[in-house]
A and B are shown apart, each in its own frame.
Chain A
Amino acid sequence: MSEQDYSGKWIALRNNKVVSSAKDFTDLIKNLKPTEIPSLTFAKIPQRGTVCVM
């Protein structure tokens, strides 16, 4: 996972392995089958230099 830079992207993980990535969450789930979603973990990788959090 560390070999590729996912900065700022959404990723879907299964067993800690990236199975899909996209620039936004809506695009990410478009590429996934509804039946596989419960087995996935979604994450957003913070963009480099991000300081703005709620």
Chain B
Amino acid sequence: MITVKYDTTPPLGHPKITLSLFHKDILKHSVSCLVDSGADCTTLPSSMSPLIYGFDVCKMPESFLKRLGAVLNESECFCGDKINSVKLPLMVGFDKFTFPININWVDNANAMPLLGREDFFDCFKIELDGLRQQVIFYPNLEHIEKQKSKFDFNKINNLIARLKIV
């Protein structure tokens, strides 16, 4: 069981967790994500992707992204705004666990980092405790292990290396 207290930065009371982002087993940086059961998948601004890959994922040619196995999307916010996005798996760390999840990189430099349902919510039972201002994560160890073999990172990393940008 992992207990994370709500964010104490104003405006108060946001359930957030820190995800560590890895590429080729190297920690690139960490990001604080809003725990958002309304988000289909974990969402990060593509302006953050050069810190991971050396290039902005959303600015890459469609043909290259398709060879990587990325899914090109148009993400829709509840307010109706639509943003181009690219879904690509990435290794993330949370507490003592490291496993890959699909990241939806959105072509908006200031998009709020969101922890969404796809992949991550399958790995934990998540309890929002507003009274105690905390989120409790109960890991599903079996699913976390299964998640580790979901994506072919060799193919992705080889293609990125061949791009000779990293």
- What residues make up the interface of A, taking CB atoms closer than 8 Å to B? 1-2, 5-7, 10-11, 13, 24-26, 29, 37-38, 40-46, 48, 50, 52-54
B163: chain A residues at CB < 8 Å are none
B112: chain A residues at CB < 8 Å are 44, 46, 50, 53-54
B47: chain A residues at CB < 8 Å are 24-26
A50: chain B residues at CB < 8 Å are 112
Within the assembled complex, what's the spacing in Å between the Cα atoms of A37 and B29?
6
Q: In the A-B complex, list the 7 residue pairs whose CB atoms are closest, starting with the nearest.
A: A43-B32, A41-B30, A52-B79, A25-B47, A54-B39, A42-B31, A24-B110
- Given A42-B30, A42-B31, A44-B112, the answer on whether A37 and B10 have CB atoms closer than 8 Å is no
Within the assembled complex, what's the spacing in Å between the Cα atoms of A2 and B8?
7
> Which of A5, A40, A45 has the most CB atoms of chain B within a 10 A radius of its CB?
A45
- Given A25-B109, A41-B18, the answer on whether A53 and B10 have CB atoms closer than 8 Å is no
Within the assembled complex, what's the spacing in Å between the Cα atoms of A48 and B11?
6
Partner of A7, one of B11, B38, B48, B116: B11
- Given A37-B51, A38-B29, the answer on whether A54 and B114 have CB atoms closer than 8 Å is yes
- Given A10-B110, A43-B31, the answer on whether A54 and B78 have CB atoms closer than 8 Å is yes
A45: chain B residues at CB < 8 Å are 9-11
Within the assembled complex, what's the spacing in Å between the Cα atoms of A10 and B113?
11
CB within 8 Å of A: which of B28-59? 28-32, 34, 36, 38-40, 43, 45, 47-48, 51
Within the assembled complex, what's the spacing in Å between the Cα atoms of A17 and B159?
37
Distance to closest chain A CB from B92 (angstroms): 13
Partner of B48, one of A11, A25, A46, A54: A25
Question: Knowing that A38-B29, A52-B81 are A-B contacts, what are 10 other residue pairs whose CB atoms are under 8 Å apart, sorted by A's residue number?
Answer: A1-B8, A2-B8, A2-B10, A11-B9, A13-B32, A38-B28, A44-B110, A45-B9, A54-B112, A54-B114
Within the assembled complex, what's the spacing in Å between the Cα atoms of A26 and B39?
24
